[in-house]
Structure 1
Amino acid sequence: MLIGILQTGEAPDVLSAEMGDYPDMFQRLLDGQGFEFRTFRVVDMEFPASVHDCDGWLITGSRHGVYEDHPFIRPLEEFIRKAYAEHVPVVGICFGHQIVAQAMGGKVERFDKGWAVGPTSYDFNGEPITLNAWHRDQVTAAPETAEVVASNEFCENAALLYDTRAFTLQAHPEFRDEFIDGLMRTRGKGLVPDDRMEAAQEKLGQPNDAARMAHRIAEFFKQAR
């Protein structure tokens, strides 16, 4: 199964040299699931010719806001709606989660309660799952076509399911602890409150559920349609 990675942002150069860029992280996360991958740098306006060029699509995270005026935002929303209409599966992570929601009629905002950083627990329909987070923006109103399948007190719409057509997640299962630590060192100072980063730092190194989420993502892509 060929998965097209729609890259909407880049890891900091100082981190990507050692840990890879976002497509590398997703390939590591989904290693062993039977997928092949092809990356399209949509952030640079490199779009697939058709939603059928790959068997499924994965939209990465980004430092950009989905509500900002970047050239790739509107074409990406159109691509998402086209894939949805033609039942080509889409998985969205963080920015990807938000852009799918916005494309489908939901609302994304800079959250007034601030940042979620580091290991974070979510309720997945009664199942507790811990994943790394790095976001301030979030989906504040889910589209009518979406079912909320995960939440916590801070993030009401933490994961959304659009029947068999899209599965999106606010957290970052592809971010390992060392990358979160690197983000706090390279991007966090002056952006994320020190107390939030200190609390996240204390939790790094504890077990999380990235492998379970990778399996869930793989099952979503492979299910019959």
Structure 2
Amino acid sequence: MKITIIQTGEVPLPLRSRFVPYRHMFETMFDRTGQGFTYQTINVADGEPFPDLDGLEGAVITGSAAGVYDSLPWLDPLRDFIRKGYQHRTPMLGICFGHQIMADALGGDVRKSEKGWGLGRHTYDVAHRPSFMQQAPAALAVACSHQDQVISAPRDAQVILSSDFTPNAGLAYRNGAALSFQPHPEFEDDYTIALAELRRGKVADELVDDAVASIAAPSQSVEVAAYIARFFTQR
């Protein structure tokens, strides 16, 4: 199965000498599941044309520094791609910004949260178990880095991950072919720490310190990646 990575952002410039591009993070995440996926990347944020939905086997919409409320020339075409993909029942995953823009395009409300930044490893309650994650435990701990949130989920979405800080952290859509998560199962711990440290001086030091300390807690990113791989292969 070929996964098409719809790239909407990149590793922040100060970290690029130390970390691989986002597309490689996703490729590594999927490779570890042993499913034998192949990949192509389309950088829509740099103006590359969106792929034709006919024959598209699966799509991943990446994280980004952009917000759904920004005035960027590629945002409306991305919304159109999401809506058409949803109607076409193209298997589609959104992560962080991808999660937010999918919700925005499909009728949800996305805003900068008054709760501020979510950094480090957060724990989310499993609110519902679709078929691809029937074996999920009661809670999943995954890295995050975001200030925007899905405030209200689209009518067609069911909340599958939730926390007090991020009530709509995971959404599975009723067409059976769309899935999104606010946290980042593709992030390695050293990159999560580096992102948190990048906020130092812009947010309270205590928040950054707590984020760095949170990485000592066990992660379920590998398990979440396996659920995502199952989501794609069962389609």
- The reply on whether 1:136 has 2:147 as its aligned counterpart is yes
RMSD across aligned positions (CA):
1.3
Shift of residue 53 of structure 1? 4.6
**Structure 1 residues 49 and 184, CA, compared in 2 at 3 Å: closer, same or farther?**
closer
Gaps of 5+ in 1: none
Shift of residue 182 of structure 1? 1.3
In the TM superposition, what are the counterparts of 1:1-225 in structure 2 within 5 Å? Answer: 1-31=1-31, 32-125=34-127, 127-163=138-174, 164-186=176-198, 188-224=199-235
Shift of residue 158 of structure 1? 0.5
Judge conservation of contact 2:120–2:196 (CA < 8 Å) in 1.
no
Poorly superposed stretches of 4+, deviation over 6 Å: none
The CA deviation string for residues 81-110 of structure 1, in whole angstroms up to 9 with x for no partner, is 011001101100000000000000101000
Tell me which amino acid in the other structure corresponds to 1:194: D
Judge conservation of contact 2:11–2:19 (CA < 8 Å) in 1.
no
Q: Could you tell me the percent identity over the aligned residues?
A: 40
Find the residue that maps to 1:102 and give its secondary structure. Answer: helix
CA distance in 2, matches of 1:185, 1:43: 25
CA distance in 1, matches of 2:18, 2:232: 29
Find the residue that maps to 2:184 and give its secondary structure. Answer: coil
Find the residue that maps to 1:26 and give its secondary structure. Answer: helix
With normalisation by structure 2, the TM-score equals 0.91
The CA deviation string for residues 114-167 of structure 1, in whole angstroms up to 9 with x for no partner, is 111101000112721000010010000110010111100111100000131210
Gaps of 5+ in 2: 128-136
Shift of residue 34 of structure 1? 1.7
Shift of residue 15 of structure 1? 2.4
Tell me which amino acid in the other structure corresponds to 1:190: G
Judge conservation of contact 1:177–1:205 (CA < 8 Å) in 2.
no
Find the residue that maps to 1:18 and give its secondary structure. Answer: coil
With normalisation by structure 1, the TM-score equals 0.95
CA distance in 2, matches of 1:191, 1:23: 27
Find the residue that maps to 1:62 and give its secondary structure. Answer: coil
CA distance in 2, matches of 1:18, 1:54: 32
Moved more, 86-95 or 201-210: 201-210
Shift of residue 189 of structure 1? 2.3
- How many aligned positions are there? 223
CA distance in 1, matches of 2:156, 2:217: 35
CA distance in 2, matches of 1:54, 1:22: 20
The CA deviation string for residues 168-187 of structure 1, in whole angstroms up to 9 with x for no partner, is 0000111111001211233x
Find the residue that maps to 2:167 and give its secondary structure. Answer: coil
Find the residue that maps to 1:19 and give its secondary structure. Answer: coil
Judge conservation of contact 1:92–1:169 (CA < 8 Å) in 2.
yes
